[in-house]
Amino acid sequence: MRVLVLGAGQLARMMSLAGAPLNLSITAFDVESGKIVHPLTQAHIGDGLENAIAQADVVTAEFEHIPQHVLEVCENSGKFLPGQDAILIGGDRRIEKALLDKAQVKNANYHVIKSKADFHSAIENVGLPMVLKTALGGYDGKGQWRLKDRNDAELIWHEMEACLADSKQAIVAEQFVPFDREVSLVGARNAKGEVAVYPLTENVHTDGVLSLSTPIDDSLLQDKARTMFTAVAETMNYVGVLAIEFFDLDGELLVNELAPRVHNSGHWTQQGAETCQFENHLRAVCGLPLGSTTLVRPTCMINVLGEDTLPDALLALEGCHIHWYGKQKRDGRKMGHINVSAEYSADLDRKLALLANILDKKAFPAMQRFSQE
C-alpha cells in the first residue's frame, strides 16, 4: 500500500523505516515547500498535493499545524486518517479542551481569553498561579506564560495582546497543576474500534522540551490512563496512533494535551516494544491488524537536542541504538534520539550511568540524574 504523510520530518522518516518490511511505501508532503519528497532522502519526487493524494491509498499526518486548505483537500479525498477533525483538535487548544470535556476526562480548569475582560475573568475563575497558552501554534513549551502574581498581569497582557492581534488566535488560561510527574500514554485504535496501548511512559522535560522518556510499570495508573485514552479515542472516532500527555498528581491523572499522531514519548517502542508506534500507526490507518504493544525489554529514550555528533563509544555499548533524523544542526533542535535497552531494569540503570559519563554534560543535562560520579 502507498501512504502519503503530511509533513516531511523525522516522524514521516521513522514511519517509512517501519513500513518497509510490510511493503508499505511512504511519500511525504512537505507542507512548507509544497513539494512531495522521499521521507528518508528528502529527494524531490513530485509536485502537487492532489496528484500525490491520487497516487496514495491512505493519507495521514505527522504533525497538527497544517493549513486549513490542505486539510480540506485531504479530507475530501476520503483517504485521510485520523482525519481533519482529529488534526484540528490537536492544533487548537480551544477545540482540544472542549473535546476533553465532551469525553468527560479530567483536565486542568481553563478559561478562553480573547480580550482583556476575558483575562480578568480568567484570573477570577481559574485562580493563580496559572499557565497561559496560545490556542494555535504552540509546541515544545513555546507560546506560553506563567502568571503567579497579579502585579505581573499587565506585563503579560501586553505580550498576549500582541498575539491576539491575529483574530484567529486566542489564549487558553489553565490552572497551574502542581504535578508529581508527567506521563503519557501512546496507543493505537483501528477502524473496528480495537485499542492497543503501550505501557505508560514517564517524561522528563528540560527547558520545556522533552529530554527523557521511560516506560513505567504501574498497573493501577495504567488502567486509569487506558480508560481515559479509550474515552478520548472513541469520542473522536479516532483511527491511528494517538498520544495523551498527563499530569500525575498523587496518583490522579489529569490530561494535559493530545497529539493526534505518533509521539516523541513513544520513540522507545522502536527497541522496547514488540511492535513500534510507527508500525502500529501504519497498521491502523491501512486497515491491518494492530501489533502487540507489549514491552519486550526495559528501555529509556534520550533526546539528542542541538547536537549532530555522538561519541562512537555509544555504539559499543550493548543495547544502545542511535536514531538520527538527518536534520541541519540548530540550537536546541531535536536532531535524533538514543534508545537504551537492557534485560533487567537494574541493568538499564547501570547502562544509563555509563552513558551519563560518556555523553557531554552540557548537551545532556537530564542524564546527570543517572550519574554515579
What span, in angstroms and rounded, lies between the C-alpha atoms of 197 and 86? 18
Q: Which residue has the cell 503567579?
A: 148
Determine, following the binding rule CB under 6 A, whether residue 137 of this chain makes contact with ligand ATP.
no
**Least distance to ligand ATP, CB of residue 369, Å:** 16
What span, in angstroms and rounded, lies between the C-alpha atoms of 287 and 271? 24
Task: Note if the bond before 298 is cis, omega within 30 degrees.
Answer: no
**Least distance to ligand ATP, CB of residue 289, Å:** 30
Site string for ligand ATP, 101-130 (x = CB under 6 A): -------x----------------------
- Residue 34 binding: pick among Mg ion, ligand ATP, none (C-beta 5-8 Å cut-off by kind): none
Site string for ligand ATP, 255-274 (x = CB under 6 A): -xx-----------------
Determine, following the binding rule CB under 6 A, whether residue 248 of this chain makes contact with ligand ATP.
no
Helix/strand/coil (H/E/C) assignment for every residue in 333-355? CEEEEEEEECCCHHHHHHHHHHH
Determine, following the binding rule CB under 6 A, whether residue 24 of this chain makes contact with ligand ATP.
no
**Least distance to ligand ATP, CB of residue 230, Å:** 21
Helix (H, G, I), strand (E, B) or coil at 363: coil
Site residues for ligand ATP, window 182-201 (CB under 6 A)? 182
Find the part of the chain contacting ligand ATP (CB under 6 A) among 3-11, 149-157, 170-178, 194-202.
Answer: 170-178
Host H or E run for residue 230? helix 219-236
**Least distance to ligand ATP, CB of residue 183, Å:** 11
Determine, following the binding rule CB under 6 A, whether residue 332 of this chain makes contact with ligand ATP.
no
Host H or E run for residue 6? strand 2-6
Sign of the torsion angle spanned by Cα atoms 133, 137, 138, 144: negative
**268 with 241: CB under 8 angstroms?**
no
**Least distance to Mg ion, CB of residue 174, Å:** 12
Distance (Å) of CA 11 to CA 251, 257, 369 = 31, 19, 28
**Least distance to ligand ATP, CB of residue 292, Å:** 27
Q: How many CB atoms lie within 10 A of CB 349?
A: 15
Is 133 or 281 the residue whose CB approaches Mg ion more closely?
133
> Of 135, 133, 132, nearest to 166 (Cα)?
135
- Residue 140 binding: pick among ligand ATP, Mg ion, none (C-beta 5-8 Å cut-off by kind): ligand ATP
C-alpha dihedral, 274 to 183 to 251 to 249, nearest 10°: 180
What span, in angstroms and rounded, lies between the C-alpha atoms of 31 and 124? 40
Q: Which long-range contacts (CB under 8 A, 24 or more apart) does 247-250 make?
A: 247/108, 247/177, 247/179, 247/182, 248/179, 248/180, 248/181, 248/182, 248/183, 248/221, 249/177, 249/178, 249/179, 249/180, 250/180
Site string for Mg ion, 232-271 (x = CB under 5 A): -------------x--------------------------
Is 131 or 304 the residue whose CB approaches Mg ion more closely?
131
Which amino acid makes up residue 238?
Answer: Y
Is 66 or 244 the residue whose CB approaches Mg ion more closely?
244
Please report, in angstroms and rounded to a whole number, the separation of the first and last CA atoms in the chain: 51
Is 35 or 133 the residue whose CB approaches ligand ATP more closely?
133
Find the part of the chain contacting ligand ATP (CB under 6 A) among 69-77, 133-141, 324-332, 364-372.
Answer: 133-141
- Half-sphere CA count of 143, side-chain side, radius 13 A: 18
Site residues for ligand ATP, window 69-108 (CB under 6 A)? 108
- Residue 344 binding: pick among ligand ATP, Mg ion, none (C-beta 5-8 Å cut-off by kind): none
Determine, following the binding rule CB under 6 A, whether residue 131 of this chain makes contact with ligand ATP.
yes
Determine, following the binding rule CB under 6 A, whether residue 64 of this chain makes contact with ligand ATP.
no
**317 with 354: CB under 8 angstroms?**
yes
One residue of 22, 30, 116, 176 binding ligand ATP per CB under 6 A = 176
Cell of 107: 483536565
What is the binding site for Mg ion (CB under 5 A)? 245
What is the binding site for ligand ATP (CB under 6 A)? 108, 131, 133, 138-142, 174, 176-177, 182, 205, 208, 210, 245, 256-257
